[in-house]
Structure 1
Amino acid sequence: MKIQVVAVGKLKERFWKEACDEYLKRLKGYAKVRVDEVPDCDPAKVGGEEGARTKEGRSILEKLPEHSHVILLDVGGRQLSSEGIAARVDALALSGVSEISFIVGGSGGVSQGVHDAADESMSFGKITLPHNLARVVLLEQIYRAFKISRGEPYHK
């Protein structure tokens, strides 16, 4: 299984980088996982929030492989438990999907074009997470999903 995380913005603080690196290291034994960062835009320089979403959206769409199953992280998406995420990844794999792309938008959300390109959307709940934290939570949940699927100790 190949897993891609397309994320808007660079991780500037060391603690975010270290957290992501830890889960990426743990995931090496389960899947080929890569993170593709796209630049975030200053709304004041691109015609406001909609301009930023549009420009970031173009960059996101350029990163998506042609045959990848795309899951957008969105507060309005389907809420799944950790077991539900594991079951969803397993179901996709069993249906012949070999690559999943998760999208973590920027602070202003994502463009309609990105919403339209997503095969499904997923939510970590009704709370709003900073996009840097959402990236860490996503990587942890992907790792947890593989552990659950294999019946390995980690998930309690």
Structure 2
Amino acid sequence: MNIEILSIAKKERSIYDPLCKELSKMISRFAKIEDIELFNKDVTKAHTISPEASREAYSKLFAPHVVKSFNVILHPDGKLIDSYEFSKLLDGKIAVKFFIGGAYGFEDEFLKKGDSIISLGNITMSHKIAKVVLLEQIYRGFSILSNHPYHK
């Protein structure tokens, strides 16, 4: 299985990097995982214009990646699911892509391209923390599917 985590983010070091690296290593026992951070001058410019312009810029960056996979969009208004339901997002799939939006979220048109729209909870968190939570849930999901004791 191939998993991609795509996020609107500047490529910069973070205190969360070692944890992301460790979780990715744990996941690699079950699937190939790739972390793709997207950001360009159009996003920078859009941030100075409006939230709508920003969402449009995010959609343009994400558009080439919404192909030949099961696409999961993380969104505050998405469905709240538990770890068992989350594991079903991974079960039997060849490729899964997770999309973490920028500061202004997603355009409605982009949301329609998702096979599943989920929420990590009702609290607001930075995309870097959302990525850590997502990685942990991916590992937990694979643990559930393989009856690994990690989940207990």
Q: Same fold (TM over 0.5)?
A: yes
Alignment partner of 1:2 is 2:8: no
Q: Deviations over 1:3-44 (max 9, x none)?
A: 111111035343121121111111111001111111063311
Structure 1: gaps spanning 5 or more residues: none
Structure 1 residue 114 displacement after superposition: 1.8
Alignment partner of 1:155 is 2:151: yes
Distance 2:123 2:151 in 1: 22
Distance 1:133 1:11 in 2: 15
Amino acid corresponding to residue 89 of structure 2 in structure 1: R
Partner of 1:61: 63
User: 130, 138, 141: which is aligned to 1:142?
Assistant: 138
Structure 1 residue 112 displacement after superposition: 2.3
Partner of 1:38: 38
Moved more, 99-108 or 4-13: 4-13
Residues 1:108 and 1:132: Cα distance change in structure 2 (over 3 Å): same
- % same residue: 28
Structure 1 residue 118 displacement after superposition: 0.9
Amino acid corresponding to residue 29 of structure 1 in structure 2: R
Structure 2: gaps spanning 5 or more residues: none
User: Given that residues 5 and 104 in structure 1 are in contact (C-alpha distance below 8 angstroms), is that contact kept between their aligned partners in structure 2?
Assistant: yes
SS at match of 2:105: coil
Q: Deviations over 1:97-124 (max 9, x none)?
A: 3111110001111122321211110111
Provide the aligned C-alpha RMSD in A.
Answer: 1.5
Number of residue-to-residue matches in the alignment: 148
Q: Could you state the TM-score of these two structures normalised by the residue count of structure 1?
A: 0.87
Structure 1 residue 87 displacement after superposition: 2.8
SS at match of 2:76: strand
Partner of 1:131: 127
SS at match of 2:151: coil
SS at match of 2:16: helix
Amino acid corresponding to residue 8 of structure 1 in structure 2: I
Amino acid corresponding to residue 17 of structure 2 in structure 1: K
Alignment partner of 1:23 is 2:23: yes
Q: Could you state the TM-score of these two structures normalised by the residue count of structure 2?
A: 0.89
Alignment partner of 1:75 is 2:71: no
User: 117, 121, 139: which is aligned to 1:121?
Assistant: 117
